[in-house]
Chain A
Amino acid sequence: MRPLDLTEKDPSKKVTIYFEGKPYEAYEGEKIAVALLANGIYWLTTSTEGRKRGAFYFGPLPIVINGIKNMDGRKVPVRANMRIERQNYGEFQEEVKIDEKKPVLRYVVDVAIIGAGPAGLGALLEVQEHLTVALIEEKSWLGGDLWLKRVKQKGFDDEPQEVIKAMRDRFNQNVRVFLKTAAIGIFDEGEYFLIPAIRRNQLIEILSKRVVLATGAVDNILLFENNDMPSVFRRAFALEVMNIWGVAPGRKVAVVGSKPEEITAELERWGIDYVIVPNPKRVEGRESVERLIDMNGNVHDVDAVIVADGRRPDINPVTQAGGKLRFRRGYYMPILDMNHRIRDGIYAAGSAVSIKPHYANYLEGKLVGSHILKEFGFETEPCIYEEKLREYEPETVPLHRIEYDSMNLEDVQICGCDVSLKKVYDVVESGITDLQIIKRLTHLAMGFCQGRFCLFNGALLVSQRTGIDMTRIDLPVARPPIKNVRMKVVARRD
């Protein structure tokens, strides 16, 4: 087994890959970042300002594969003899072949469901008997965040993966599943909505009469010095490497953030040594974390850090699709009408709406499905689900105070695109308090993730430094494409 393997891998898939010229053991189909992690390699790319970056916190992950620059190290699967090298942000491939003849795949359905977590699956199972469905999921698995867990979740009778498999078995012939497919926006086309989506380099256009945003939540980004160092993990990535790929994030990890319980049970299951550090100040190391120093000056020798600080709804699909937001329970969430819609024809369900147990998200999916059936003229009783859903009060996510005075703000990255906390802090201190302008002066929320991981902390900073209430901050709206797409993939005139 490789240094960080937790499980025995299928020997028939065993291949050799080369990283920076050296051979490593890998398995066909593994994600490159995971294969390298298993070999103990965390540092994969270097930001514009020369910061070493890994795959598992935030920011883009451009790497060189077989001589081709600017490949996405999080997406490309391992193949035998692949040659991988680090690169700097900003390097790109100068020779390009554009295949204009490649056909666009087009589908027409009654309902497009974006996101295959419990909410998306709930909506699908509710409507599939009567309506045609396209289920669009960016990841390679069904079940969303639930699939990442191995510990039984409240409301479900079985273990997560069994629950999801059972749902999958119920899909009927009205359902078309698009995995590894990223929806890049929702556009109005009169009677239909048009949802362009990308699977690898294939453009897919889905026309649907109704849309369900079951697009989920994103992990909170915790601010501490060198928080972007390779071997700092977001909770979801830590779960993924352990539970999907059977690879440990490290041998001895520190769990930081306000929700350590979201990861510790899983670490215990795998027997990974961990320490909970509620107040991280700084991590240090050469190519990855070697120690974590807390606010009290205690030094913890760890080789990885997992940030488990809860999640907040991903508001980008909502605002791009024309939804409005409100601030409640510590996060921005879509404003829904009585039928659970952000506007005519577009429904929202699950942790895209509020943070609550997986089972409640599933129920909310069913509720939305039921509303849709009603709109299509079928006899349904959405109120049954409404009633059940009431048993689950959404969580309140705490707003932590950012420790401006105890940290070197230059070392704290608020955004994965080389925006330090200091950059944003200085603009606010200069008297500019409008997030819309701050964003443009600092480039916060103007990079690869369009603010998915950084905008909230930006709003929090403005609120904490100026006293402006979170409810009154003018939040920028996400623009298409809501997921990055290569220009050649959409380059067409038809």
Chain B
Amino acid sequence: MADILIIGGGIIGVTLAHELVRRGEDVTLLEKRFIGSGSTFRCGTGIRQQFNDEANVQLMKRSVELWKKYSEEYGFSFQQTGYLFLLYDDDEVTEFKKNIAIQNKFGVPTRLITPEEAKEIVPLLDISEVVAASWNPTDGKADPFHSTAAFALHAKEMGAKFYERTEVKDIIIKNGEIKGVKTNRGVFKTGIVVNATNAWAKLINAMAEVPVRIPIEPYKHQAVITQPIKAGSINPMVISFKYGHAYLTQTAHGGVVGGVGYEEGPIYDLNPSYAFLKEVSYYFTKIIPALGELLILRTWAGYYAETPDGNAAIGRINEIDEFYIAAGFSGHGFMMAPAVAEMMADLIIKGRTALPAWWFDPYRFERGEFRTTAIQMG
């Protein structure tokens, strides 16, 4: 018997298990493949507070605090090397000025800088068409492998039970009350289920017969990594909407990682495509010509679990006793995970939270209430 059972061993499920067990709860986590095997190990490593609405800025501000705290405690790589949005015309500048005002209101120190200043930060940039850049030095990046593994390890050490290669096939509900879940490894009894399966969330919702419409669809997004180059060559995450909605940065290991807005779906398919390989190379070499000489080591695909407004569905489903969801994170679920875990743990244990959970209300779609579409790359 598990008090709280989390389905999904991505960064969201793992940090939530970690947070709950830290607060003394009895937690079990089920993962159908291995920890991180969903979108988490396929992500672009970026962590930013540069959003275009108050809720995401607040949430990400808290998340960055937690990334800092846990990376220091657990010894994984989290670097505050900034996010640099390259802007190419007045419209973009006007829009980013608005965003910067929202960010500054919550103490996020983003500012508009000149192309020359941008080039000082990343000397390899081609700034010939850039008119300004939005720069926040406190954004950053973390290693998805070491961070997820560290949260999992510490959660387990504190007593959370993790079952990998364990796929939930059905949810047993009697009179509106959850009794357990069926898996390939037998039945796990529980009274509380958290759906943290992101791209697969609609399947778990279907198993639980969730009576509200929560549109989360899997879209294939791909990423590329090059040969490792000298450390410090591209410190921040560099963003260019003009060139393919691209994001790119250098990993702690030295390779240049990133992606562009090349999307397929909704579909459950993770085969990398040749069209992406060409397109990402085309755009990346426009942003940083020197990347042209680098060897591409590989590409891969993962899912953006997308909602109509690009914001996740986070909260309790009241019709089922007790069912929670935290899914639909698009291209920014990795960065939010520590704060989402805190918010979810509050909701599960106390039924309320100081963090802006209302923004992510899973009922909003049913009510036809959409949020400002969250800034998104890739």
Contact of B292 among A436, A443, A484, A488 (CB under 8 A): A488
Binds A, one of B99-107, B202-210, B273-281: B273-281
Residue B297 at the chain A interface, CB threshold 8 Å: yes
Q: CA–CA, A494 to B277, complex, Å? A: 13
**In the bound complex, do residue A437 and residue B36 qualify as a contact, i.e. CB atoms below 8 Å apart?**
yes
Residue B164 at the chain A interface, CB threshold 8 Å: yes
Binds A, one of B16-24, B179-187, B223-231, B341-349: B223-231
- A90-B228, A98-B289, A480-B272 given as contacts; is B149 within 8 A of A437 (CB)? yes
CB distance from A59 to the nearest CB of B (A): 12
Residue A48 at the chain B interface, CB threshold 8 Å: yes
Which of the listed residues B226, B271, B284, B295 has the most CB atoms from chain A within 10 Å of its own CB?
B295
Contact of A322 among B229, B271, B298 (CB under 8 A): B271
Q: Kindly report which residue of chain B lies nearest to residue A442, judged by CB atoms.
A: B145
Inter-chain contacts of B146 with A (CB < 8 A): 441
Residue A490 at the chain B interface, CB threshold 8 Å: yes
Majority SS of interface residues in chain A?
loop
Contact of B227 among A60, A194, A478 (CB under 8 A): A60
The 0/1 profile, CB within 8 Å of A marked 1, for residues 242-267 of chain B is 00000000000110000000000000
Residue A416 at the chain B interface, CB threshold 8 Å: no
Q: CA–CA, A437 to B143, complex, Å? A: 13
Interface residue tally on B, bucketed by range: 35 or more
Q: CA–CA, A492 to B283, complex, Å? A: 8
**In the bound complex, do residue B292 and residue A491 qualify as a contact, i.e. CB atoms below 8 Å apart?**
yes
Inter-chain contacts of B227 with A (CB < 8 A): 60, 92, 447-448, 484
Near B by CB (< 8 A), chain A positions 470-494 give 474, 478-481, 484-488, 490-494
**In the bound complex, do residue B293 and residue A448 qualify as a contact, i.e. CB atoms below 8 Å apart?**
no
**In the bound complex, do residue A94 and residue B124 qualify as a contact, i.e. CB atoms below 8 Å apart?**
yes
Inter-chain contacts of B282 with A (CB < 8 A): 491-493
Residue A93 at the chain B interface, CB threshold 8 Å: yes
The 0/1 profile, CB within 8 Å of B marked 1, for residues 376-400 of chain A is 0000000000000000000000000
CB distance from B159 to the nearest CB of A (A): 16
Majority SS of interface residues in chain B?
mixed
CB distance from B275 to the nearest CB of A (A): 9
Inter-chain contacts of A436 with B (CB < 8 A): 33-34, 37
Inter-chain contacts of A437 with B (CB < 8 A): 34-36, 145, 149
**In the bound complex, do residue B230 and residue A96 qualify as a contact, i.e. CB atoms below 8 Å apart?**
no
Q: CA–CA, A450 to B353, complex, Å? A: 45
The 0/1 profile, CB within 8 Å of B marked 1, for residues 425-468 of chain A is 00000001010110011010011101000000000000000000
Inter-chain contacts of A24 with B (CB < 8 A): none
Which of the listed residues A70, A185, A481 has the most CB atoms from chain B within 10 Å of its own CB?
A481
Contact of A90 among B37, B229, B296 (CB under 8 A): B229
- A48-B228, A90-B229, A487-B296 given as contacts; is B149 within 8 A of A480 (CB)? no
- A437-B36, A484-B296, A487-B226 given as contacts; is B290 within 8 A of A93 (CB)? yes
Contact of A446 among B37, B231, B289, B297 (CB under 8 A): B297
The 0/1 profile, CB within 8 Å of B marked 1, for residues 181-198 of chain A is 000010100000010100
8 more A-B residue pairs beyond the given contacts A441-B146, A447-B297, A487-B295, with a C-beta to C-beta distance below 8 A: A60-B227, A92-B290, A95-B289, A434-B164, A437-B34, A441-B145, A488-B292, A492-B282
Closest 5 CB pairs of A and B: A488-B292, A440-B145, A491-B281, A484-B295, A479-B298
Residues of chain A touching chain B, judged by Cβ–Cβ distance below 8 Å, are 48, 60, 70, 89-96, 98, 185, 187, 194, 196, 322, 417, 432, 434, 436-437, 440-441, 443, 446-448, 450, 474, 478-481, 484-488, 490-494
